Amino acid sequence: MNTAAILLAAIAVLLAWPVPLVLARAQWPARSPGVALVLWQAIALAGGTSMIGSLLLYGLVPFGNSLPQSIVAVGAGLRTGALPAGASFIHVLALGGAILLGTHLLLNLLATFVRAERQRRHHHTLIALLSDPLHGQPGMRVIDHPAPVAYCLPGAGHSATVLSNGLLSLLDADQVRAVIAHEQAHLVQQHHLVLLAFKSWHSALPWFPIANRAENAVALLVEMLADDHARRVVDDRTLARAIALVGFALAGVATPLTSEADATALAAASASDPDRGRGAAPEHPAHQVTPRVARLVNPIVPLHYTATAGALTVSAVLLTGPAIILFGF
């Protein structure tokens, strides 16, 4: 079991720093954001499993040669109050660390989902009181606000897409269609669940820099996935102009983007600098405008099927590998 514990520890270290760092800096996720999102989820799950599993196996070394045998021995030791020969404080500390870490992550995930559901219900109540339905668009609500705002509000059986008067006055009809299609994609594809999972990971380990980077990378990927859905409704230029107009208006651009020509020019300028806006902590929607617009203004070819198959195979190995190591020894 020592070998398995060391192997899982090595995997945990790799998935905690170098692997996500390389993925966060890679250019290919913009070509196939769905594949990249699967890989990010596999990295997060495999990293957590490996981290907990390595501590667990090391702590169980004195109790037996296999995981089931060791768990039975631990139960017997708890009943008798005696530790087996060779058990040290380090082994007990590792075992306690595995239990505490696993419990902390699971409870934090549960708390994050409960808190988010409570906030969504409260938000639904406010929207029902303070908004009006959009004529001819079921499930659409309009709030009286000058800022160009659009967001989706998921819920069990009563999801809504919220637009502001500021957005409707800023964009033309095709651009509004693009925004609506984008927000509906978030609802249909249940992106809020993925975002909540990574938010939970970040809040559980706020001192862990990769958790922050992963949350930001995943947030951008789900926006790109929603953009890809909107591209089926409108052309790329229309979508790019809508993103630029809304994003830079919210950022408080000195020269307002009052025309599609202005938005296109700014989008092209952004696309010419692909590294701009790639900071580790994008706190404003405008920070996501540059990479989203860049892939629309300068269309890129999706990953070849062999590269896609390779990335998905790596994801499958990451998801199953730690479990096989954990239960195979």
Residue 276 lies in a domain: no
Residue 105 lies in a domain: no
Residue 53 lies in a domain: yes
When pLDDT is averaged across residues 186-208 and rounded to a whole number, the result is 93
Residue 46 lies in a domain: yes
Residue 44 lies in a domain: yes
Degrees to nearest 5, angle at CA 85 with 82 and 91: 85
Residue 204 lies in a domain: no
Q: Which domain holds residue 30?
A: 1-87+303-329
Instruction: Measure the CA–CA gap between 152 and 125, rounded to whole angstroms.
Output: 14
Collapsed DSSP state (helix, strand, coil) of residue 121 = helix
Q: How confident is residue 39, by pLDDT bands cut at 50, 70 and 90?
A: very high
What pLDDT score was predicted for residue 329? 62
Residues 6+ apart with CB under 8 A from 20: 40, 43, 210, 213, 214, 217
What pLDDT score was predicted for residue 136? 78
Q: How confident is residue 180, by pLDDT bands cut at 50, 70 and 90?
A: very high
Q: How confident is residue 269, by pLDDT bands cut at 50, 70 and 90?
A: very low
pLDDT higher than threshold 50 for residue 214? yes
**For 43-96, how does the pLDDT look when each residue is reduced to its tens digit (9 = 90+)?**
999 999 999 999 999 999 999 888 888 888 888 877 887 888 888 899 999 999
User: How far is CA 116 from each of CA 94, 158, 185, 192, rounded to the nearest angstrom?
Assistant: 33, 15, 20, 10
pLDDT higher than threshold 80 for residue 172? yes
- Taken in order 14, 2, 60, 320, the sign of the CA dihedral is positive
Residue 19 lies in a domain: yes
Residues 6+ apart with CB under 8 A from 198: 40, 44, 211, 214, 215, 218, 219
Identity of the amino acid at 19: V
pLDDT higher than threshold 70 for residue 265? no
Domain count, the chain: 1
What is the residue-wise DSSP string for 215-259? Answer: HHHHHHHHHHHHHHHHTTTS-HHHHHHHHHHHHHHHTT-SS---S
Q: How confident is residue 328, by pLDDT bands cut at 50, 70 and 90?
A: confident
Structure tokens at 219: 């947030």
Residue 218 lies in a domain: no
Q: How confident is residue 254, by pLDDT bands cut at 50, 70 and 90?
A: very low
Instruction: Measure the CA–CA gap between 256 and 192, rounded to whole angstroms.
Output: 31
% of the chain residues with pLDDT over 90? 70
